[in-house]
Amino acid sequence: MLNHCFLCRNEDLKEMLESSKESLKLEAMKRIVGLIAKGKNASELFPAVVKNVASKNIELKKLVYVYLVRYAEEQQDLALLSISTFQRALKDPNQLIRASALRVLSSIRVPIIVPIMMLSIKEASTDLSPYVRKTAAHAIQKLYSLDPDQKEHLIEVIEKLLKDKSTLVAGSVVMAFEEVCPDRIDLIHKNYRKLCNLLVDVEEWGQVVIIHMLTRYARTQFVSPWREDAVFDENSEKAFYDSEEERRVDQSKPYIMDPDHRLLLRNTKPLLQSRNTAVVMAVSQLYWHLAPKHELSIITKSLVRLLRSHREVQYIVLQNIATMSIQRKGMFEPFMKSFYVRSTDATHIKTLKLEILTNLANEANISTILREFQTYVKSQDKAFAAATIQAIGRCATNISEVTDTCLNGLVLLLSNRDETVVAESVVVIKKLLQTQPSQHSDIIKHMAKLFDNITVSMARASILWLMGEYCEHVPKIAPDVLRKMAKTFTSEEDIVKLQTVNLAAKLYLTNSKQTKLLTQYILNLGKYDQSYDIRDRTRFIRQLIVPNEKSGALSKYARRILMAPKPAPVLQSAFKDRDRFQLGTLSHSLNSQANGYLELSDWPAVAPDQSVRIVEVVEPAGAPVFGKSKPGKSDEKFYSDSEEEEEEEEEGSSSEDSSSSSSSEESESESESEENSDDSNKSSSSQSDSEKKKKTLKNKKLQQQKPDSKDRYWSHAVTKFFLMHIVLSFSNQFVANCRCSLLCLYVFLVCQFDTVSWHVRVSLQASSPVFVPETSRELLHRMTGKGLSAQYRFTRQPCIYGNSMVSLQLTLSNSSDQALENIHISEKSSTGRDIHRFNASGGLRPQASVTVSMGVDFNDSTQAANFQLCTKEDEFSVSIQPAVGELLLPITMSEADFTKEQTILSLCSEIVVFPLN
């Protein structure tokens, strides 16, 4: 009957789907989705549904997608009918449709379409829409789980997508990376800095994945920052000073954090303020695993904040805090009160808080904690009360000052009305007594008195064991307890019986006169017990202690075997070894390795090559601090438009001097030449290395090469870019005419082959600058220069040393207390830049300073000039990076000339005129 109804309904739905009315179809699909949601089987309708895959109605289409993804695996042949629709949709102009087509296509788990999927992923990974590229990244994982053989091809796609600069893609592609090829960290090198810098803007889920991946990456690439910190005791200041002294003596090479390592820590720190708890936890674990120990404290507050969140979040966070608090008490001690238990907490939350409180206990706070524990012991939640007693036991063993207090407190609990509390107390007391039994015979006596009232077998067994172990301390009571046990032996639990046998044996050995008969009686009872364990034990004990002719040499040692001193148990946290798992992971939470867990490697002893991470020229070579701000930014604000533009485009070298260009080119940092070498159809000519804009000084001699043929050039210009020069010049007149306040800078982009106008311009007159900034910038700090400090400033005057040089003023001052002699610039200039050195300025007295001038040929690039500043004893590497504006020479030009130049420019694709002020 039911079945019949179901069939009927299916027939109805089929009819509706085949009707011509859109609304009926939609209604049918909605009902079908309802069936799927309830877990009912709707696979019979597949043929009817799949027909609607190409529907115009977008909601209908989406519901069909939902259906398809759910059942395609079961109906592979029919599912193939829909593929062509998706292939068409992949070419749709609407990015949402392209993306959802790819999503569904890749979700259909039909092995036969693997090649189609592969092709679509490859195509989508180069799509213009980042949303589609994101979908492609997701599709990578789907295809990989469908057909792992595609791994190699997929890695290629991942490699390509990792280079993507969109924040939308970053999280998804890293996820794919983690799934497909987590061991290929070489793919990360080049993208490391980009990922670090993008991180803040990535969506929150992506952040979690990227942070976890970068944690793993960092552990393979950087050396441990904890090396010296090992001597830093977290709260002993003395050790701090001591080690300072020691270090000065024996550590020749102090630890310097890799700038990339620092970058990661710095860029993740703001994410501690995220509203997403998973992100906060991810950053916390990153700091835990990567940060120097003294920086760790910043994560504490954020973690404690998470405790205000939902119950489930609390649970995970408390687990992690528990692990952390074992190693580093100091981190959480100020927040101890946040871990106080409330009666409304769930049991697993209570136990975790208890765990943390126990970990945090020390001599100073133990009395507060114990007072708090007293309240917990009285809790109505008896399981929790029992856990508290365990915790008291741990505190008592860890902090010897309070052992006696705890013991007395526990003894008081023995008269508690609740069995579980009493039982737990007995067990804990047993463990505590093992540490120092002789002083506590009265406690043992007290327990013997309570013995009759205790019914929990574990507690009874514990008391019996205590009696046996310390029977010599209570010689009168122990035999009496045994006598009582003999009476009730048959009705006891197994665990109690075993301990009774144990007690009997020990008493037999120490006090055989009183207990011989009792022991034999008990052994006889045990012999016929139902449990084989007890029968075995009885037989064994009898052979061991009762001497007879058959017994071997063993019985001689019976006393030593049974009464051997036993080591006291060590009460320790259940979270002791959890730190073998990366914090914040599922494996850590379960304390067992989950499927797909990626081990965190140990720090390498020697850091692998750092240069693998260098991508482009972001920073000048030899710069001491990573990520330093662009020099001169603040002062030169008023050129900054052009300057930033150049820098963003990673301007290649722009040497015009063909004679010197090849040599200087080679010595440029490698990434730059990499940039340039992409250019295919360029020869070794001076202009060759740029498909980008070039800039040149006004007064430069140009050696133009005649193009082979104009046509070739034109076609080249059309297909790629114009070969251009940027001519930058100042024009005072123009300023006046335009009524711009200070300087006007205009940039000419002139076609290279338009050589005519050059000669005109070369003849232009250089004029004096209107504005020369007085502020100078630092070249060498006195701390790094061992007393010698140097500052530089661009004078904006024509350089007297050479036409292509830029003149600089250098102020050297000596802030040390000795005279510095023979200050000069080293002969070997590292970048091959032509530098006119200042005259070696003899000696410099303490606190004196001197101003010298020098000239540097920057080759018209904003590349830094690096050189060595030397004194008699030392050499210091310094670098000067000019702003674009400093490379220019102001010229005077009539308005007519200016307009003429401007018209020439209109031939080019780009004109930039900056009225800057």
Partner 1 sequence: MIHSLFLVNASGDIFLEKHWKSVVSRSVCDYFFEALERATEPENVPPVIPTPHHFLINVLRHRIYFVAVIQSEVPPLFVIEFLHRVVDTFQDYFGVCSEAAIKDNVVVVYELLEEMLDNGFPLATESNILKELIKPPTILRTVVNTITGSTNVGEQLPTGQLSVVPWRRTGVKYTNNEAYFDVVEEIDAIIDKSGSTITAEIQGVIDACVKLTGMPDLTLSFMNPRLLDDVSFHPCVRFKRWEAERILSFIPPDGNFRLLSYHVSSQNLVAIPVYVKHNISFREGSSQGRFELTLGPKQTMGKAVESVLVSSQLPRGVLNANLSPSQGTYTFDPVTKLLSWDVGKINPQKLPSLKGSVSLQTGASKPDENPTINIQFKIQQLAISGLKVNRLDMYGEKYKPFKGIKYMTKAGKFQVRT
Query: What residues from 192 to 221 belong to the interface with partner 1 (CB under 8 A)?
Result: 200-201, 203-205, 208, 212
The CB-side HSE value for 574 (13 A sphere, CA atoms) comes to: 16
Residues 146-175 contacting partner 1, CB under 8 A: 168, 172, 175
Tell whether residue 57 is a contact of partner 1 (CB under 8 A): yes
Distance, CA of 823 to CA of 307 (rounded, Å): 61
Neighbouring C-beta atoms of residue 3, cutoff 10 Å? 7
Residue of 232, 240, 465, 597 that binds partner 1 (CB under 8 A): 597
Residues 252-291 contacting partner 1, CB under 8 A: 270, 273-278, 280-282
Tell whether residue 743 is a contact of partner 1 (CB under 8 A): no
Residues 68-87 contacting partner 1, CB under 8 A: 70, 73
Residue of 150, 268, 585, 863 that binds partner 1 (CB under 8 A): 585
Hunting for tokens 């079961």 — which residue is that? 74
Q: How far is the CB of 704 from partner 1 (least distance, A)?
A: 44
Tell whether residue 574 is a contact of partner 1 (CB under 8 A): no
Cβ closest to partner 1, residue 60 vs residue 856: 60
Cβ closest to partner 1, residue 347 vs residue 601: 347
Q: How far is the CB of 268 from partner 1 (least distance, A)?
A: 12
Residues 407-426 contacting partner 1, CB under 8 A: 416-418
Closest CA to 77 of 113, 126, 101: 113
Residues 326-345 contacting partner 1, CB under 8 A: 334, 337-338, 340, 342-344
Tell whether residue 99 is a contact of partner 1 (CB under 8 A): yes
Q: How far is the CB of 164 from partner 1 (least distance, A)?
A: 14
Q: How far is the CB of 599 from partner 1 (least distance, A)?
A: 11
Distance, CA of 785 to CA of 815 (rounded, Å): 10
Tell whether residue 596 is a contact of partner 1 (CB under 8 A): yes
Closest CA to 173 of 215, 216, 144: 144
Reading the block at residue 753, the tokens are 């082959």
Closest CA to 622 of 440, 348, 864, 909: 864
Cβ closest to partner 1, residue 280 vs residue 392: 280
Q: How far is the CB of 369 from partner 1 (least distance, A)?
A: 12
For residue 72, count CB atoms less than 10 angstroms from its CB and return exposed for 0-12, middle for 13-18, buried for 19 or more. buried
Cβ closest to partner 1, residue 142 vs residue 725: 142
Tell whether residue 129 is a contact of partner 1 (CB under 8 A): yes
Task: Give, in order, the Cα–Cα distances in Å from 450 to each of 132, 842, 881.
Answer: 75, 96, 86
Distance, CA of 535 to CA of 526 (rounded, Å): 6
DSSP 131-153: HHHHHHHHHHHHHHHH-GGGHHH
Distance, CA of 891 to CA of 897 (rounded, Å): 12
Reading the block at residue 572, the tokens are 């320790």
Residues 349-388 contacting partner 1, CB under 8 A: 372, 375, 378-380
Residue of 19, 84, 94, 768 that binds partner 1 (CB under 8 A): 94
Distance, CA of 646 to CA of 846 (rounded, Å): 42
Residue of 80, 87, 130, 802 that binds partner 1 (CB under 8 A): 130
Tell whether residue 915 is a contact of partner 1 (CB under 8 A): no
Inter-residue contact 764 to 893 (CB < 8 Å):
yes
Radius of gyration of the chain (CA): 41
Inter-residue contact 205 to 170 (CB < 8 Å):
no
Q: How far is the CB of 49 from partner 1 (least distance, A)?
A: 15
Q: How far is the CB of 795 from partner 1 (least distance, A)?
A: 35
Angle of helix 151-162 relative to helix 130-146, nearest 10 degrees, comes to: 160
Residue of 62, 328, 559, 786 that binds partner 1 (CB under 8 A): 62
Tell whether residue 66 is a contact of partner 1 (CB under 8 A): yes
Q: How far is the CB of 512 from partner 1 (least distance, A)?
A: 43
Binding segment (CB under 8 A) for partner 1, from list 580-588, 765-773, 783-791, 797-805 = 580-588
Q: How far is the CB of 295 from partner 1 (least distance, A)?
A: 17
The CB-side HSE value for 306 (13 A sphere, CA atoms) comes to: 27
Tell whether residue 584 is a contact of partner 1 (CB under 8 A): yes
